[in-house]
Amino acid sequence: MLLIFDCDGVLVDSEGLSCQLDAELLTEFDVPYTAEDVAREFIGVSLKDQVARIEGKHGIRLPADFSERLNRRLFARFETDLEPIEGVREAILALPVPRCVASSSVPERIALSLRVTGLSDLFDHIFSATQVPRGKPAPDLFLHAAAQMGAVAQECVVVEDSTAGVQAAVAAGMQVIGFTGGGHCGPEHGDKLRAAGASVVIDHMTDLPKTVRAFTHSAS
């Protein structure tokens, strides 16, 4: 089995910070968004795809350095405010199986997130949507991660907090554990992940080890 983790909202509790800063910057460019709007439309989506969708929807052109400006703000806030998902380190250490990270974020953001939350030592293999033609909900990133790790899709279990991520994993032929323990998840989030194709949904990382073991036993 290969265990594939999304980063934002699964390993680190970043989505609330990210959506707020994203909305503030968009509003500065006369594209009024709230943090809730950003969360609803873009969680799990790469920043490149987000910009393309906004430009197409509103018939505008954001500044060429929009992504760089947003990342500068995010990185500064992450250095001071970013926290790991509660219990995630202990859950991962309780699972002696091959693992990696596959995130829609750029590699620099993933590395920073893991460093400031003390999780860097848990992952030797990190994959970003910048490495594939299409981001989530397309399956490209998860298939790339599996290929690089020497695993077939049927042997992979993905831990995801976004509908786009769940859809990507399902499209890749992988089983998915939906996670609703991030600060951005409301009471209906689990239902959305199930509707997107998550096999099971957990709301705390203490439930991850036994859930993964259940997948292992069902496959044997």
CATH for 200: 3.40.50.1000
Two structure tokens written together for 96: 């002696």
Which helix (H) or strand (E) covers residue 144, if one does? helix 140-149
Q: What is the pLDDT of residue 186?
A: 86
For residues 105 and 207, membership in a common domain is answered with yes
Identify the DSSP state of 138.
Answer: S
Sheet holding 2-5, edge to edge: 126-128, 99-103, 2-5, 156-160, 175-179, 200-202
Query: Residue 23 sits in which domain range?
Result: 15-81
Q: What is the pLDDT of residue 15?
A: 86
For residues 124 and 34, membership in a common domain is answered with no
Mean pLDDT in consecutive groups of 10 residues from the start of the chain, 220 residues? 96 92 95 92 88 94 94 94 97 96 95 97 96 96 98 97 96 97 90 96 97 77
Select from 64, 81, 98 the last residue of a domain.
81
Q: Judge whether 13 and 182 are in contact, CB under 8 Å.
A: yes
Q: Judge whether 132 and 140 are in contact, CB under 8 Å.
A: yes
25-42 per-position pLDDT tens digit? 999 999 999 999 998 899
pTM recorded for the entire structure: 0.89
The domain tally of the chain equals 2
Select from 54, 81, 108 the last residue of a domain.
81
181-212 per-position pLDDT tens digit? 998 888 899 999 999 999 999 999 999 999 99
Alpha-carbon Rg for the chain in angstroms: 17
SS (H, E, C) 180-212: CCCCCCCCCHHHHHHHHCCCEEECCHHHHHHHH
